Each structure stands twice: as structure tokens, then as C-alpha cells.
């Protein structure tokens, strides 16, 4: 399967307008944003766990990265409430599920295969710091390595921000609205911008809170199955 697989094109998906699709596990559904491959795939998705649902124990050969959007995600390592950012590196293992139910934004098979860094971070606005050069923008660094940078950014109402697209850019709107390229991104809209494209975003009247990743589109190779 290939979905939004041309990484040289700008892609915008309003995820909450998509239908939920069943996964191989009962009670777990997904909205696919981009995908190269079938059930083992380089994939970006919104995934919903019904209360009491879970996956079997498994190894993330290509790594897993996710943001808890609603509910509580659970595995044997802990409980992750809304606003938690997690990186499970290649070769990590867990048994994911949710007794109360949850919704997550998740990316699979998009790590450097040598990465062994686990990250669990609370994306709290109170921890965001004023941006070094852009007034009205506050940033919380979630992860940075030689390949990519991941942040949570808080944008004040009506401000324009020049966004870094070196190596490509992804944005998921967590709250509020953002205008970019003539489009309005709302809650859980996902935008992918190709490397080195011009990208200026304007926060809506109520401001916005966004998850952002830069650099990762340098490597878009799907998993070898």
C-alpha cells in the first residue's frame, strides 16, 4: 500500500474528517495519514484504542514514536496520559493497550536503525520557553539528534512564524488553528512539507499548540519485509 508516499509533495490531511479503519486487532482502529507498506509499514497514523483493547507483545524493529491525544495509553512500562510524547527505539518491546481507551498520533519505522534512545516527555505548556528569535512563539524541545528535531510549540494569537523545513517538516495541530499555504489547519490536522520549501504559518485568533518534527524526511526508506 502507498498513501501520500511522494515526500517531494506538500500533503495536508484533516484527520478528523477521515473514517476509522479496522486494524488486525479487535477494538483498535486507525486513520492513515501516510503509509508505505502493508501491516509492516513506514506509517503515520491516528490510532484509537477502545476501552479494554490491546495488542499482543511485539518488538518495534523500526522504532515507534507517538503522542497521546486523548485517554490513557498503557503498557508494562507505565500509564501515559494526554500530552505525553514517547519514543520507543528500534528493538524495543512492549504490550500496548488501554483499559479506559485512548487516541494516539503514531509514527512507525521512521527511526535510524542504530537509535537506542527512549524518550518519555510531558508536553506541558508551562515548560515551553520563549523562542530565541520569534516573539510570541514558545518552544519545548522533546527530542534532538543528528537526524531530526521534535518540539511542541505554543503560538500566540495572530502571529506569523517562519518554519524550518531543512530535511522536511511535519506539523500536527494539538489545539487551536493555524493557516499555511492558503489552508486552515484545525485540531488534529496533519501537514507535511517537503525539504527546503518556503513555509510561513499564522496562528489563528485563539492561538495554537502544535507538535513539530524537522529533518526526518531526509530518509524515507520503507522497511525491508
Q: 154 with 125: CB under 8 angstroms?
A: yes
The rounded mean pLDDT for the chain is: 94
Task: Give Cα separations from 125 to 138, 144, 202, 209 (angstroms).
Answer: 8, 19, 19, 9
Q: Say whether both 117 and 128 belong to one domain.
A: no
Q: Say whether both 114 and 136 belong to one domain.
A: no
Decide if 188 is inside a domain: yes
What local confidence, expressed as pLDDT, does residue 106 receive?
98
Residues 6+ apart with CB under 8 A from 133: none
Q: Say whether both 143 and 204 belong to one domain.
A: yes
Decide if 103 is inside a domain: yes
Q: Rounded to whole angstroms, how far apart are CA atoms 214 and 143?
A: 11
Handedness of CA 90, 118, 170, 184 (dihedral sign): positive
Choose one of 121, 147, 162: the last residue of a domain: 121
Choose one of 60, 86, 121: the last residue of a domain: 121
Q: Say whether both 212 and 116 belong to one domain.
A: no
Q: Say whether both 109 and 164 belong to one domain.
A: no
Q: Say whether both 23 and 61 belong to one domain.
A: yes
Which three cell numbers mark 196? 527546503
Q: Rounded to whole angstroms, how far apart are CA atoms 100 and 80?
A: 12
Q: With a cut of 50, say whether residue 220 has pLDDT above it.
A: yes
Range scoring the smallest mean pLDDT among 158-167, 201-210, 213-222: 213-222
What local confidence, expressed as pLDDT, does residue 216 receive?
86
153 forms beta bridges with 139, 210
In CATH, what number is assigned to the domain containing residue 180?
2.60.120.10
214 forms beta bridges with 149, 169
Range scoring the smallest mean pLDDT among 49-58, 98-107, 147-156: 49-58
Decide if 195 is inside a domain: yes
Decide if 225 is inside a domain: no
Query: How far is CA 18 from its chain centroid?
Result: 17
137 forms beta bridges with 155
Q: Say whether both 88 and 161 belong to one domain.
A: no
Q: Say whether both 117 and 155 belong to one domain.
A: no
Give the whole-number percent of the chain exceeding pLDDT 90: 84
- pTM score of the predicted model: 0.95
Q: How many domains does the chain have?
A: 2
Q: With a cut of 70, say whether residue 219 has pLDDT above it.
A: no
Handedness of CA 152, 218, 165, 48 (dihedral sign): negative
Which three cell numbers mark 200? 510561513
Q: Say whether both 110 and 131 belong to one domain.
A: no
Q: Rounded to whole angstroms, how far apart are CA atoms 7 and 14?
A: 18
**How many alpha carbons fall within 13 Å on the CB side of residue 21?**
10
Q: Say whether both 178 and 87 belong to one domain.
A: no
**Residues 132-155: what's their mean pLDDT?**
95
**Residues 207-215: what's their mean pLDDT?**
97
pLDDT digits (tens, 9 = 90+) for 177-205: 999 999 999 999 999 999 999 999 999 99
Q: 10 with 193: CB under 8 angstroms?
A: yes
Choose one of 105, 121, 137: the last residue of a domain: 121
Cα angle vertex 82, ends 113, 110, to 5°?
A: 15
Q: Say whether both 29 and 115 belong to one domain.
A: yes
Domain of residue 141 covers: 124-218
Q: Say whether both 104 and 159 belong to one domain.
A: no
What local confidence, expressed as pLDDT, does residue 53 receive?
95
Q: With a cut of 70, say whether residue 224 has pLDDT above it.
A: no
Q: With a cut of 50, say whether residue 225 has pLDDT above it.
A: no
Amino acid at each position: 500500500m502507498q498513501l501520500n508516499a511522494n515526500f517531494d509533495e506538500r500533503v495536508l490531511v484533516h484527520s478528523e474528517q477521515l473514517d476509522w479503519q479496522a486494524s488486525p486487532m479487535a477494538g483498535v482502529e486507525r486513520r492513515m495519514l501516510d503509509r508505505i507498506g502493508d501491516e509492516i509499514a513506514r506509517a503515520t497514523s491516528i490510532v484509537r484504542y477502545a476501552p479494554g483493547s490491546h495488542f499482543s507483545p511485539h518488538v518495534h524493529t523500526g522504532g515507534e514514536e507517538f503522542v497521546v491525544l486523548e485517554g490513557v495509553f498503557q503498557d508494562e512500562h507505565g500509564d501515559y496520559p494526554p500530552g505525553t510524547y514517547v519514543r520507543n527505539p528500534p528493538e524495543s518491546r512492549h504490550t500496548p493497550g488501554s483499559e479506559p481507551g485512548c487516541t494516539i498520533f503514531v509514527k512507525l519505522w521512521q527511526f535510524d536503525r542504530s537509535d537506542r534512545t527512549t524518550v518519555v516527555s510531558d508536553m506541558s505548556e508551562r515548560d515551553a520557553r520563549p523562542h530565541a528569535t520569534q516573539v510570541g512563539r514558545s518552544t519545548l524541545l522533546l527530542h534532538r539528534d543528528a537526524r531530526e528535531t521534535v518540539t511542541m510549540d505554543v503560538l500566540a494569537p495572530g502571529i506569523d512564524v517562519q518554519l524550518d523545513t531543512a530535511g522536511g517538516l511535519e506539523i500536527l495541530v494539538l489545539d487551536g488553528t493555524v493557516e499555511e499555504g492558503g489552508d486552515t489547519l484545525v485540531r488534529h490536522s496533519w501537514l507535511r512539507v517537503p525539504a527546503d520549501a518556503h513555509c510561513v504559518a499564522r496562528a489563528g485568533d485563539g492561538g495554537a499548540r502544535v507538535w513539530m518534527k524537522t529533518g526526518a524526511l531526509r530518509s524515507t526508506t520503507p522497511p525491508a519485509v
